[in-house]
Structures are given as structure tokens and as C-alpha cells.
Amino acid sequence: MKILIADRISPLGVDFLKKQNGFEVVEAYGSTPEQILEISKDVSAIIVRSDTKISRQVFEVASELKAVGRAGVGVDNIDVDAATEKGVIVMNTPGGNTIATAELTFTHMLCGTRPIVRGATSMREGKWERKLLKGAELRGKTLAVLGLGRIGAEVAKRALAFEMMVIAYDPYLTDERAKELDLKKVELSEAFAEADYLTVHMPLTHETRNIVDEAAFAKMKNGVRVFNCARGGIIKESALAEALKSGKVAGAGLDVYEKEPLPEDHQFRQIENLTLTPHLGASTAEAQESVGVEIAEAVSEVLNGGRIRNAINMPSIDPKDLELLSPYLDLCQRLGSFARQAAKGSVAAIHISYFGKIVDFDCVPLTRAVQKGWLSGVAGDEELNDVNAPYKIKDLGIKVETIKSSSPVDYNELIAVKTISSENCEQEVRGTLLGKGNDPRIVEVDGQAIEVRPVDTLLVVRNVDKPGIVGKLGTILGDCSVNIANMSLSRAEEGEWALTICELDDEPPASALQALVDDSDIREARVSRQG
């Protein structure tokens, strides 16, 4: 498998990949977009930093591509939507530069508090401006942290060591986590109003773009200090420039910008109380070595069929959870396939319900497995995997709903897949794992209890509940040399319709199915393919 390294990463990461069996490493640093398109045609993985753009055109031509790895956090240079459509995993390394970025943020905070930059510059110019360069202290000040992920948490820890008061805004921050970090959880408006210092550590999204704008500065104290070492665009640049010029903001520090490199004529370059650095967040020897090795290991593991780490467009599963979930993933895929083949009419929605102990796990991978199984018979020759299955389901206009239920069931764990047609026709199949071997079983079909293994070929028959049906099935299948490995029967009321599911060694010919359908005692006969 060919791995393209388009931007320079740590030599240790490159060497790691070169030592793996079955990999061919192509180093193509500084390639033009046209060259990247040509090289990508037969690669299995691409590794980048921030320089090379992996566009939709790359995903269109790279038919062998399985993964794109970013040695760093931001994936602005990767078309994640296009990757998802093509079933390509996009991964980053959020932990590798955590300390480097947190320390740079604190460096900016210190430089924004004490006039270090101006002092160093004036000393080189032969000046002695001691009386002009009065600063302030961090101790006793309130730091507002917007975004309390890995980096935000590390900044908060350092601020507490400097005896600052720390408040944090993060929609996903729990009370327990805030208590653990010894900080106060606040709403966004409160963070703006209380901050003496404000630092942002959020991803750049539609919701966070320009989250610190003119209205935000109007809520802040006079003399506040503001810092951004996360992503350009979170702080509105024009609003910050005006706030610095007016004195509303006493000092600021930026490592990231809306447009990079920062244009030579940008007004920021003329503002004295603003410290600028050229996107140095991950620029330490330790961080570059860490992210280079981490992304190399992650790409290698994915290509070898192992766990997926730090994926942007699909859930990353902890190895311990993966071991526990693995048998359920196969069951879910088979339930999804069975449900599609049982559905009547055009399917508008799929409802997936989880019961029992399994609700304690992250069920997103299981939901994706159901979707992949549902699509297995309709995707044609297109690449289908856990990455693009939800996209393809959505593209078909099917709404997927998941429920973790506390309702009592007869099994330790139970998974139900219900399809709802445009005409509100519902079909449901339920499954579980039995025994120490975690053997998959279908245990209910449309409300009728039954126990059948979801093997590759199932014959599903609905028939009048009367003597002789089993004999007919055996005779018709026997005449075409199709062996019944197992047969499961279920009925509602005596004399009404019954359900029969046969596990077959081979798929019966169309003539056998037609003979079953033509029988007046059989309402439905179909083959359900699970393989």
C-alpha cells in the first residue's frame, strides 16, 4: 500500500512507516496541486500538515484512498465532506501539540501583561525605557477560557498556578469536569463581562466564527486583554483592531489569523499593544515529533485494519470498547440487511432501539453498522464503509433515529431495527447475542418470537398455519439440492398465519421460490441474504 507524505513531518514518523511491512512511502514535499492529483491516483493514505490542500478533486481521483491524516489539529485544508462521501477516514492529532499551544498561549498572556517585546526591541535600539514600560500582574485577575478541551484545560491549570481566577464557557463542559479543574462554569455573556483576560480555544465552526465581535467587546471591561492561539476567525479581526485602538482592549496576542500568511499591509502590523506570532502553536521540537509519530502510527493502524484514532468523520472506538462491541457490530450489520429486505414500499425512516446493558456503551458505531448493513444490497459497486454509510442513507432521504430504552426485555441486551415506509407500513426485526460464544440470533420478526441464526442465506416464509407446510418446503428445496441447515417456526394463533425461517447452505433457484409463491397456502417466500 502506497502512503503519500505531502508535507514534512518528524523523520521518526517517516521512518516508522518505512519499517512497516507492506507499505511504500512516497515523500513529495512542496508538490503543486496538480502534482498531488497525479500522485494520489493509487495511494492508500495521505499525510499532511497545513500546507497541502486535499481537495474534492483529490478524493475523486484517488480510488484506493482509505485515510487522510493531519499531523496537527486543524483540518481546514482537507475537504472533510468529500472524504466522507467517498468513505475516506480523516484523522488528526489533537493531543500532540496540546502542551506546546498551551505554553504559547501563556507566553502571549505574559507578553500582553508585561511589555517584553517592546522592552527587548528598545534595548537593541540602545534605549533604556524602564520608566515607560510598566506592566501588570496575573495574580488575582480573572481569566475567561472559551472552549475547555485539551488545550483550554492546560491553559486553565497554568492560570491557577499563577493564582488567577478561572471561569470557562463551553457548551459541553459538565459541572463535574469544572469542579475537577477547580474553575467556574459560566455562560458566554458572563464570560465576556467578568474577564480581565480572555483566551479562545475552540474549533472554527459556523457557530464559533466571529464569536468575539463588536457586541462581545461592548460587554467587556475596559482594559481587558484578549488572546487567540486557536483558529483565525474566532475573534473578528476588525472588531479587535478597533477595540485595541480605542483602549477598550489594553493588550492582545494572536498566533492565528483569518488569512494566513498575514498580509503585509494588514492593520494589525501597526498596532503597538498587539503581539503577533506567525502560527507557532505547534512549532516546538517536542510537538512536531509527537504529532509526526502519532499520525504515522494512526495511519498504519487503519491500513492494517486496526483501531481508528481521532477520526474527524466517524467515531473513534477505544480498543477495550471495540473488543466488547465487535460481536454486536456484526449482529447490527446483519439486522440492517435483514430489515431492508423485509421492508415494504419506499422506506422513509429507520428506528434503531437499544435495550439492556448495551445502552451503557457508545452506540454510534452500532448504528453505523446497521446503516452499512441496510445499504449492503443497494450501494452497487460503490465503496461502502462505516464512514460514508450515514451520508449515503441521508442521501437516500431516509431519516435515522436511535433510542436507548430502559424498558425491560427478556434478554441481557437487545437491538431492534424498525423500518417505516412512506405509507407508514412498519416492519421490525430484533436480535441479540446468546451464550458464551456471543452467537448472533434473530429473536423476533414483526412481533413474532423466533430464534434463528442470521447466516448468509435465509429463506423467510409466511404461510397458513396447517399441517404439511414443512413437508412442502423440504420437498421443493430437496428437489433442487438445497440443504436446510436449520429451521425455526413461529405462529401467532392456531390456524392463522405462521412464520418459518430456514437457514440454507445454498441459495435456492428462482424456480423453487416461484413454486413456493404459487402455493395457495404460502403468502410470502423470499430469500434474505446476509453475507
* CB proximity list for 304: less than 8 A, separation 6 or greater: 22
Q: Which three cell numbers stand for residue 457?
A: 442465506
Question: Nearest to residue 254, comparing CAs of 278, 283, 282, 218?
Answer: 278
Collapsed DSSP state (helix, strand, coil) of residue 290:
helix
C-alpha to C-alpha distance for 177 and 193, rounded to whole angstroms: 23
Neighbours of 483 (CB within 10 A): 11
C-alpha to C-alpha distance for 43 and 59, rounded to whole angstroms: 11
Neighbours of 495 (CB within 10 A): 10
- The single-letter code of the amino acid at 197 is Y
Residues annotated catalytic, as ranges: 231, 260, 279
Collapsed DSSP state (helix, strand, coil) of residue 404:
strand
Question: Nearest to residue 299, comparing CAs of 447, 348, 291?
Answer: 291
- Give the single-character DSSP code of 40: G
Q: Which three cell numbers stand for residue 516?
A: 413456493
Phi and psi torsions of 135, nearest 5° = -115, -155
Q: Which three cell numbers stand for residue 266?
A: 494588514
Q: Which three cell numbers stand for residue 146?
A: 472559551
Neighbours of 472 (CB within 10 A): 16
- Using a 10 angstrom Cβ sphere, with 0-12 exposed, 13-18 middle and 19 or more buried, the burial of residue 437 is exposed
Cα first-last separation, the chain: 27
Q: Which three cell numbers stand for residue 324?
A: 466488547
Collapsed DSSP state (helix, strand, coil) of residue 16:
helix
CB of 178 closer than 8 Å to CB of 145: no
Supply the angle between the helices 319-342 and 364-375 in degrees, to the nearest 10. Answer: 40
Question: Nearest to residue 299, comparing CAs of 519, 512, 528, 91?
Answer: 91
Q: What is the DSSP string of 409-453?
A: -SSSEEEEEEEEETT--EEEEEEEEETTTTEEEEEEETTEEEEE-
C-alpha to C-alpha distance for 501 and 489, rounded to whole angstroms: 7
Q: What is the DSSP string of 132-143?
A: G-----STT-EE
Burial 220-254 (b: 16+ CB within 10 A, else e): bbeebbbbbbbbbbbbbbebbbebbeeebbbbbbb
Question: Nearest to residue 202, comparing CAs of 228, 221, 179?
Answer: 228
